Every structure is written in C-alpha cells, then in structure tokens.
Amino acid sequence: MSCWLKEKGEFIVNRQTAIPLRERNIILIGFMGAGKTTIGQLVAKKLYRDFIDVDAEIERRHGMSISEIFAQKGEAYFRKVEREIIIDLCTKTRLKILSLGGGAYLQEEVRRACLAHGIVFFLDLSWDQWKEERLPLIVDSRPVLKNKTLEEVEQLFFQRQSAYALHHSRVVLNELEAEQAAEQIVGSIKWTWDVYEPNR
Ligand SMILES: Nc1ncnc2c1ncn2[C@@H]1O[C@H](COP(=O)(O)OP(=O)(O)O)[C@@H](O)[C@H]1O
Ligand SMILES: O=C(O)C1=C[C@@H](OP(=O)(O)O)[C@@H](O)[C@H](O)C1
Ligand SMILES: [Mg+2]
C-alpha cells in the first residue's frame, strides 16, 4: 500500500482513494469529552468549511436528545444509526469537518470509511486530565457514563485506545486550549496540502 508520511505530525494518508487531499473531510475522533465538538467547530470556522457534529445530526433527525435515544431505543439502535450516517457522510460528502461521537470509531466499518475517504485526527487526552477536568463537565449528559463506577469508566477509556490508535494524525491535548488545538490541526492540514498538493 502506498502512503504519505508526515513524520512530524504522524501523518499517514492512504493514496488509493481518488479524493484529493484538499477536498477530503477532516474527521475528529477521541474519547467523549476530549473536545471533538468544540474543536471541530473552531477548525471549520478557520478553514471556512461546514461543520457536522454526528451526534447533533442524529438528534436533529430524531427530534430527540442522545440520552433520550439511548433510553427509548437502546444503544444498539443508536450505534446502527451512527454507523450509517458516518458511512454516508464519508462516501457522499467532501470538504466537511466532522466530529464523531466517542464510541463511533469502535465500529470497524466506521474506521474503514473514515480512513479511506477522510483525514482522521485523534484528539488525545491523558486519563488523569480527563478524569479531573472533563468528567465533571460531561458526566450528566453522556448516557454511556451513567451507572458506571470510575474504575469501569477507566477501563472503557483504555479499552478504546487501540481503536483510536488507527488515525492519520494525533493532537496531544494536555494543556492545550481548544483554540490552540484547532490552530494545530489547521497548521498540520495546510502543511500537508502544500507539500502533497502544491499549485492547487
Ligand atoms: N481544550 C479544551 N480545554 C478545556 N475544556 C475543553 C476543551 N475542549 C473542550 N472542552 C470542554 O469539555 C467539554 C466537552 O467538550 P466537547 O467538545 O463536547 O467534547 P466531545 O465532543 O469530545 O465529547 C465541554 O464542556 C467543553 O467546553
Ligand atoms: O463515547 C460514546 O460512546 C459516546 C459519546 C458521545 O459523543 P461525544 O464523544 O461527543 O461525547 C455520544 O455519541 C454518545 O453519548 C456515546
Ligand atoms: Mg461531541
């Protein structure tokens, strides 16, 4: 398989897809509360592109919150809808900034579609920082955290890392403000565009 490698940003892009790099969707993955929605919005603004938050899109289509969908239709239903929407967005849209829900990327079909058609950024945050700073902010709004002990959440956090490791580029968030993280993503993407698709 031929690929591009940007060592500094750990940037590896599959060249087999015909979509030019500049047109590919930029996809943010990572654990819940890492900042995918917040940072995705900022990246979209900086690049003058449309932003789609997959959770918000699911809520819009159902007229229900994610918590209500989990409670009334169950997690398996939510995962099916999330998978279908992401595959649809990956295969039918370009030039978007997409923020996934933290569990979406655990599904192999989702990973395959994202890696083949988009440019995937992993927003990486340490467990200690997540536990201290993010958990209090999101504990009431994420149904996956409901009725779990801290030990169980920690287990989930580390279980998911092997899926998140399958990315094109990683941003280490520890200590970064959302604005700084967005700047880093934009810098990395522009570098890649200029190096691999000059004169476009
Ligand atoms: N870089 C950051 N530094 C501090 N707080 C942040 C940062 N990014 C996001 N947050 C806060 O963390 C919470 C979760 O952010 P969100 O964007 O919803 O994450 P995700 O979409 O990954 O679940 C929000 O309250 C948000 O304001
Ligand atoms: O990690 C998960 O399983 C989930 C993460 C949430 O999105 P965020 O990652 O944006 O919080 C949302 O999709 C749902 O509550 C399930
Ligand atoms: Mg989100």
Query: What is the number of domains present in the chain?
Result: 1
1 assigned to some structural domain: no
For residue 137, give the CATH number of its domain.
Answer: 3.40.50.300
64 assigned to some structural domain: yes
Q: pLDDT tens digits, residue range 77-86?
A: 999 999 999 9
**Cross-sheet strand order for the sheet of 119-124:** 50-53, 96-99, 26-29, 119-124, 169-172
pTM across the whole model: 0.94
Of 36, 38, 175, best ligand 1 pocket probe by most atoms within 8 Å of the beta carbon: 38
Interacting residues of 120 by C-beta distance below 8 A, sequence separation 6+: 27, 29, 114, 166, 167, 168, 169
Q: Read off the DSSP letter of residue 98.
A: E
142 assigned to some structural domain: yes
The Å distance, Cα 11 to ligand 2 centre, comes to 25
Q: pLDDT tens digits, residue range 97-146?
A: 999 999 999 999 999 999 999 999 999 999 999 999 999 999 999 999 99
Residue 139 backbone dihedrals phi, psi, to 5 degrees: -55, -35
66 assigned to some structural domain: yes
Tracing tokens 């079909």 back to the chain, one arrives at: 109
Domain that holds residue 61: 20-187
Q: Is the ipTM of this complex over 0.90?
A: yes
6 assigned to some structural domain: no
Pocket of ligand 1 (CB under 6 A): 30, 32-38, 99, 134, 137-138, 173, 176-178, 181
Chain length of the chain:
200
How many Å is the Cα radius of gyration of the chain? 16
Q: Read off the DSSP letter of residue 142.
A: -
